[in-house]
Chain A
Amino acid sequence: MKTDLSVKFSKLTLQNPVFVASGTCGYVDELSDFIDINALGGFITKSITPLPRPGNDTPRTVETDAGMLNAIGLANIGCERFIAEKLPLMQNFKTPFFVNIAGRTIEDYICVAERLADKNQIAGLELNISCPNVKAGGITFGTDPAAVSQITKAVRKAAGNKILIVKLTPNVTDISITARAAVENGADALSLVNTFTAMAVDIETRKPVLANRTGGLSGPAIKPIAIYMVNKVYNEVARPAAIPILGGGGICNAGDALEFIMAGASAVFVGTANFLCPTAATGIIAGIEKWLISHGISEISELIGCLK
Chain B
Amino acid sequence: MNVPEVFLRKGLTKTFEKFMHRPQTTQQKGPYNATVESNILRSGKFGRLTLRLEGTAAQVFRVAKPGQFAQFDVSNLRIPPAELIPDELVNSAKRNVILRRPLSLAGISDIADAEAVLLDILYCIVGPGSLRLSTAEKGDRISLIGPLGRGFFVPAGKKLALLVAGGMGAPPLQHLAGYLREKHKNIEVLAFAGAKTITDLPYFDIDISKVSDKPDFSIREFSRYAVKSLPATDDGSAGFKGFVTECMRKWLDANKIKPSDAIIYACGPELMLKAAADLATDYGIDCQVSLEQNMACGTGLCQSCAVKCCCPNGEKIYKLCCKDGPVFDSREVVWE
Task: Give the interface of A toward B (CB within 8 A).
Answer: 23-26, 30-31, 33-34, 46, 54-55, 58-68, 70, 72, 75, 219-220, 272, 274-279
Contact = CB atoms under 8 A, between A and B. Distances in A.
Contacts of B304: 58-61, 70, 72
A215 B59 CA distance: 40
Contact of B98 (A26, A68, A278): A68
Interface residues of B, number: 30
A287 B48 CA distance: 36
A75 B99 CA distance: 21
A25 B301 CA distance: 5
B73 A276 contact: yes
A78 to B, nearest CB: 13
Contacts of B186: none
Nearest to B307: A58
6 contacts: A34-B30, A54-B316, A55-B306, A63-B99, A72-B303, A276-B99
A277 B31 contact: yes
Nearest to B27: A33
A90 B145 CA distance: 26
A46 B98 CA distance: 22
Interface in B124-145: 143, 145
A275 B302 contact: yes
Interface string B286-307: 0000000111110111111110
A278 B298 CA distance: 10
B318 A55 contact: yes
Given A33-B28, A219-B98, A54 B303 contact: no
Contact of A55 (B29, B30, B300, B303): B303
Nearest to B323: A30
A243 to B, nearest CB: 29
Contacts of A31: 301
Nearest to A63: B99
Most buried by B among A34, A46, A64: A34
B100 interface: yes
B96 interface: yes
Interface string B77-116: 0000000000000000001111110000000000000000
Contacts of A25: 301
A34 B146 CA distance: 11
B317 A26 contact: no
A46 B295 CA distance: 18
Contacts of A30: 299-301
Most buried by A among B293, B299, B317: B299
Nearest to B318: A54
Nearest to A53: B318
A47 B182 CA distance: 46
Given A60-B294, A61-B294, A75 B303 contact: yes
B29 A67 contact: no
Given A33-B29, A54-B318, A220-B98, A274 B297 contact: yes
B291 to A, nearest CB: 11
The interface residues of chain A, by DSSP majority, are classed as loop
Nearest to A274: B301
Contacts of A33: 26, 28-29, 299
A34 B29 contact: yes
Contacts of A23: 302-303
B301 A58 contact: no
Contact of B306 (A65, A75, A274): A75
B302 A70 contact: yes
A176 B73 CA distance: 38
Nearest to B88: A204
Most buried by B among A26, A274, A278: A278
Contacts of A276: 73, 98-100
A30 to B, nearest CB: 6
A58 B294 CA distance: 8
A53 to B, nearest CB: 10
A23 B297 CA distance: 12
A91 B303 CA distance: 25
Contact of B297 (A54, A75, A220, A275): A275
A59 B294 contact: yes
B317 A58 contact: no
Given A54-B318, A61-B294, A66 B98 contact: yes
Contacts of A58: 293-294, 304-306
B151 to A, nearest CB: 17
A60 B318 CA distance: 12
B5 to A, nearest CB: 23
A54 B306 CA distance: 9
Q: Which 5 A-B pairs have the closest CB atoms?
A: A61-B304, A275-B297, A66-B96, A61-B296, A60-B304
Contacts of B293: 58-59
Contact of A68 (B30, B296, B299, B318): B296
B29 A70 contact: no
Contacts of A54: 316-318
Nearest to B316: A54
A24 B316 CA distance: 25
Nearest to B94: A65
Interface in B300-335: 300-306, 316-318
Contacts of B28: 33
A234 to B, nearest CB: 28
